[in-house]
Amino acid sequence: MTPSVRQLLADMLTQTGYNVHQAVAGSSGLAALDSMTRVDLLVTDVGLPGMNGHQMADAVRAKRPALPVLFMTGYAEVATVASGFLGERMQMIAKPFAVEAIGAKIRQMLEKDGERGS
């Protein structure tokens, strides 16, 4: 994800009342997540420098197995879902997306997670 898209998404989520932590690459994201006690949702691009988003999600979920993950991708969503890319509590949104669409997807995932009592 480009820095401008990442910042736009972070700004939108912050204005909506979420606490947002950003990382440029998978390795820096993992380091940041290791220092946090509470994380409600991981939002990551599939294509990250150094490691892909699924590798990052796998590493994070090794320590936080119940953490929901939202992947952003420019790849065909149907093909990715059909290939078994998405595990339990993982969803995807195709790029380009409207700010309203990703906001709604995030709210849906967090509400569903809250219903599970996590």
CATH number of the domain to which 17 belongs: 3.40.50.2300
pTM passes above 0.95 = no
Mean pLDDT of 62-80: 81
Contact in structure between 66 and 87 (CB atoms under 8 Å): no
Q: Which domain does 93 fall in, by range?
A: 3-113
The confidence score (pLDDT) of residue 83 equals 65
The count of domains in the chain is 1
**Rounded (10°) CA dihedral 61, 66, 68, 73:** 30
Chain centroid, CA 1 distance in Å: 12
21 within a domain of the structure (yes/no) = yes
118 within a domain of the structure (yes/no) = no
The more confidently predicted of residues 115 and 7 is 7
What is the amino acid identity at position 13?
L
